[in-house]
């Protein structure tokens, strides 16, 4: 079943309004609502006094309209009495100054008392709603994240290290604490890396200590969540458990670990935020986020918060243009969402998020946004069942690594280098060609894919390198970019030529490197005729000075003391190929290389639509469902290779040429799949 619905806060509105809301939701085609993830003060107004009657009434009203419910455990925002009970449970950010009451996410995930309150409210909710006919599942907390550096966390870190290293000698060895005389002689001496983590902050921690701390903090949230999951599984075995993650941009938690305990991943998809005032929304950014969320479990996901109006706390974002809300929601579906839940139903009249606009405005009236989504609801009623459970299939994999992200937070290497921006620069080149990309972790086998992208895999384990070698030996193609293989898992620099464990595979050795100042770049000279170069392409940010061992040269630098030395190389290895791009180009470089890489890997791109139109395919068994998304505000013309059925309208499109209205979406069944 395709889930279509909304995030609803009945506690924000008079009870007399609930019936009207539920009826309007039903009329919009909604079958699902998420409730209660911020309602702790109403669910447990004082310690141990649980009040669920109001929520029961709200759920009953929704259920009467055919709407089922996902409940949130309300632990992301504690009522004042919780924090008054545990004044030492305030999270201490990296600055070292504890938070105080009045926002949300103020708690320390390690604090024993807070953890107990979290278990108690979870248990009470789970017991109350276990057999409820309207409740289908749970969301743990809300958008986990943010590191804590408090004394409880520091003590727990010391215990975690003891468990990990066994003996202090092993820890001292792993971190290289002889440097600056940091050799620890008691576990209790080990600090939390307070206020030292910013690239140019006050001092810099030992990289081994900082990486372990970041892993530890991620582990603390996973453990906090697991306590809730254990209770929910136990009491509500028929309910699913998910969490709302934050896409590809969020980098303080290891999302692969957080997702491992969930039945499926959900995430919160906002395209126009108050702090991103760019007039254009880049579809490839959402696509990368979707691919990341899908890749965490290689499974379809929910969008638990899909943008429903202008975003805003203090500042109001650009209003979503007509057609954008449904376009972004369909894009989510095209990339693997099996549920779209809009955030939020009605714009709040009070509180921090007064300007985070819902489908309804503050005055409760239905307007343009509601009407648009109601139209989508009618379409979902027609196509939802055909789409739900269908899969995105990809031949290209992109290796995303949270240890690497953490390590770059400790040492950025170059101020202009941003890991996820680099990942996006490469990703967008494939996205522009409508090639599906699956995000993978460093802990899996890559067999089954044809092309593996390995962007700046800074922390590289020997086992991962071995898996990449196996993949290429069997015929795969791999793309490797600089700063790969620099560190081992302790965040120590490897004692071998870079790219370390992947040097043999790439057939090169990095002899030295040049970290470039802002704005400095140099043109590349290509020597390989298979690569179509539409314009001059540049090296920037970082230049590895490479010596080829077995590889052939594809492009060379043209300036500076390393002019003429290799900038891009190609190595035949086993039945496959390894490409090393020795600099961080901009998007244009990867765009130019993508076609060549796909050919090398024998991946066929689907038909090319006009610029601004995105094609995505989901597979229902052997049936292809083609999503055609016009991301621009102008009419477009497409040439289809054969007549197709438009699932949204039920009409067959007989002609080879079809007009797409501004921001129009078509969902087509491709009878034979030829050319797609």
* Residue 148 interacts with which of ligand GLA, Zn ion, none, CB < 5 to 8 Å by class: Zn ion
Catalytic residue among 44, 305, 379, 438: 305
Inter-residue contact 15 to 395 (CB < 8 Å)? no
Binding partner selected for residue 6 from ligand GLA, Zn ion, none, CB under the kind-specific 5 to 8 Å limit: none
- When computed from its CA atoms, the radius of gyration of the chain, rounded to whole angstroms, is 26
Q: Taking the complex as a whole, how short is the minimal distance between the CB of residue 275 and ligand GLA, in angstroms?
A: 11
Residue 292 binding result from Zn ion, ligand GLA, none, given CB thresholds of 5 to 8 Å by partner type: none
Examine residue 268 and tell whether it contacts ligand GLA (CB under 6 A): yes
Beta bridge partners of 337: 301
Which CB sits closer to ligand GLA, 8 or 557? 8
Give the count of residues interacting with ligand GLA (CB under 6 A). 8
**Which of ligand GLA, Zn ion, none binds 150 (CB below 5-8 Å, type-dependent)?**
Zn ion
356 binds, among ligand GLA, Zn ion, none (CB under 5 to 8 A by kind): ligand GLA
The one of Zn ion, ligand GLA, none whose footprint includes residue 142, by CB under 5 to 8 A per kind, is ligand GLA
Site string for ligand GLA, 208-247 (x = CB under 6 A): ------------------------------------x---
Burial of 173 (0-12, 13-18, 19+ CB in 10 A): middle
Backbone φ, ψ for residue 570 (5° rounding) = -130, 130
Beta carbon nearer to ligand GLA, 227 or 353: 353
Catalytic residue status for 143: yes
Per 3-state DSSP, the chain is made up of helix, strand and coil in percentages (nearest 5) of 35, 25, 45
The residues that touch Zn ion, with contacts defined as CB under 5 A, are 108, 110, 148, 150, 152-153
Choice from 143, 401, 469, 544 touching ligand GLA (CB under 6 A) = 143
Q: Does 305 bind ligand GLA (CB under 6 A)?
A: yes
With CB under 6 A as the contact rule, the residue among 73, 118, 142, 347 that binds ligand GLA is 142
Closest distance of CB 143 from ligand GLA, Å:
5
Among the options 37, 143, 285, 614, which is catalytic? 143
Measured from the Cβ of residue 637, the count of other Cβ atoms closer than 10 Å reads: 10
When the beta carbons of 155 and 653 are compared against Zn ion, the nearer one is 155
Least Cβ distance, residue 309 to ligand GLA (angstroms): 10
Instruction: Give 575's contacts (C-beta < 8 A, 6+ positions apart).
Output: 473, 474, 475
Closest to ligand GLA by CB, 142 vs 434, is: 142
Number of Cα atoms under 13 Å in the Cβ half of residue 604? 5
3-state secondary structure 80-122: HHHHHHCHHHECCCCCCCCCCCCCCCCECCCCHHHHHHHHHHH
C-beta of residue 624 within 8 angstroms of C-beta of residue 676 = yes
> By CB under 6 A, what part of segment 339-358 binds ligand GLA?
343, 353, 356
Minimum separation from the CB atom of position 8 to ligand GLA (A): 12
Helix 402-410 vs helix 419-431: angle between axes, to the nearest 10 degrees?
140
Residues 169-198, mask of contacts with ligand GLA (x by CB under 6 A): ------------------------------
CB of 447 within 8 A of CB of 469? Answer: no
108 binds, among ligand GLA, Zn ion, none (CB under 5 to 8 A by kind): Zn ion
Contact (Cβ atoms closer than 8 angstroms) between residue 355 and residue 310: yes
Structural tokens at position 547: 């010596």
Q: What is the 3-state secondary structure (H, E, C) of 267-280?
A: EEECCCCCCCCCCC
Give the integer Cα–Cα distance in Å for 545 and 212: 31
Which residues have a catalytic role annotated? 143, 305
Residues lying near ligand GLA in the complex (CB under 6 A) are found at: 142-143, 244, 268, 305, 343, 353, 356
């Amino acid at each position: 079943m395709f889930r279509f619905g909304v995030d609803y806060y009945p506690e924000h509105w008079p009870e007399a309004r609930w019936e009207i809301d539920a009826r309007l939701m039903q009329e919009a085609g909604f079958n699902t609502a998420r409730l209660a993830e911020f309602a702790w003060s109403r669910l447990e107004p004082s310690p141990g006094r649980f009040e669920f009657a109001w929520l029961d009434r709200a759920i009953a009203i929704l259920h009467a309209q055919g709407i089922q419910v996902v409940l949130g455990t309300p632990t992301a925002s504690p009522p004042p009495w919780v924090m008054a009970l545990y004044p030492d449970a305030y999270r201490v950010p990296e600055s070292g100054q504890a938070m105080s009451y009045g926002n949300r996410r103020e708690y320390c995930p390690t604090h024993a008392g807070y953890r107990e309150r979290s278990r108690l409210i979870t248990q009470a909710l789970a017991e109350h709603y276990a057999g409820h006919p309207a409740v289908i599942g749970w969301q743990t907390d809300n958008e986990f994240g943010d590191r804590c550096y408090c004394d409880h966390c520091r003590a727990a870190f010391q215990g975690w290290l003891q468990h990990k290293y066994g003996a202090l000698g092993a820890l001292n060895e792993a971190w290289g604490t002889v440097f600056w005389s940091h050799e620890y002689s008691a576990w209790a001496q080990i600090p939390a890396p307070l206020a030292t983590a910013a690239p140019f902050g006050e001092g810099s921690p030992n990289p081994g200590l900082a990486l372990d701390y970041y892993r530890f903090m991620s582990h603390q949230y996973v453990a906090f969540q697991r306590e809730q999951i254990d209770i929910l599984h136990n009491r509500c075995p028929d309910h699913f458990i998910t969490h709302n993650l934050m896409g590809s941009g969020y980098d303080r938690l290891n999302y692969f670990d957080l997702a491992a305990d969930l039945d499926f991943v959900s995430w919160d998809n906002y395209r126009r935020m108050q702090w991103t005032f760019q007039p254009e929304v880049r579809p490839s950014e959402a696509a990368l986020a979707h691919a990341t969320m899908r890749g965490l479990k290689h499974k379809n996901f929910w969008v638990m918060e899909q943008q429903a109006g202008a975003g805003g706390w203090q500042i109001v974002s650009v209003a979503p243009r007509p057609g954008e809300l449904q376009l972004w929601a369909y894009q989510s579906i095209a990339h693997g969402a099996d549920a779209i839940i809009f955030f939020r139903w009605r714009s709040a009249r009070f509180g921090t998020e007064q300007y985070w606009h819902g489908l309804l405005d503050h005055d409760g009236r239905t307007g343009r946004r509601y009407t648009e989504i109601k139209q989508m609801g009618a379409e979902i009623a027609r196509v939802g069942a055909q789409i739900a459970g269908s899969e995105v299939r990809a031949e290209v994999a992109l290796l995303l690594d949270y240890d690497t992200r953490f390590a770059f937070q400790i040492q950025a290497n170059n101020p202009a280098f941003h890991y996820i921006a680099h990942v996006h620069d490469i990703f967008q080149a494939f996205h522009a060609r409508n090639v599906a990309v699956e995000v993978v972790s460093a802990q899996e086998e890559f067999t089954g894919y044809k092309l593996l992208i390995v962007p700046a895999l800074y922390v590289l384990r020997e086992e991962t390198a071995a898996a990449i070698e196996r993949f290429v030996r069997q015929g795969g193609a791999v793309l490797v970019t600089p700063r790969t293989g620099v560190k081992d898992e302790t965040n120590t620099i490897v004692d071998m030529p870079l790219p370390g464990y992947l040097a043999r595979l790439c057939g090169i050795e990095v002899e030295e490197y040049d970290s470039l100042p802002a704005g400095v770049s140099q043109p590349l000279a290509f020597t390989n005729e298979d690569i179509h170069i539409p314009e001059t392409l540049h090296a920037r940010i970082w230049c590895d000075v490479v010596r080829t061992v077995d590889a052939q040269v594809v492009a060379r630098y043209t300036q500076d003391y390393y002019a003429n030395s290799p900038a891009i190389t190609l190595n035949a290895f086993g039945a496959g190929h390894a490409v090393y791009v020795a600099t961080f180009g901009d998007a244009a470089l990867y765009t130019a290389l993508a076609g060549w890489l796909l050919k090398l890997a024998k991946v066929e791109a689907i038909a090319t639509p006009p610029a601004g139109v995105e094609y995505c395919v989901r597979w229902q068994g052997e049936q292809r469902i083609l999503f055609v998304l016009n991301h621009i505000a102008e009419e477009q013309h497409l040439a289809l290779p054969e007549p197709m059925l438009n699932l949204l309208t039920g009409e067959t499109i007989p002609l080879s040429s079809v007009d797409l209205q501004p921001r129009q979406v078509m969902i087509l069944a491709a009878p034979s799949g030829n050319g797609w």
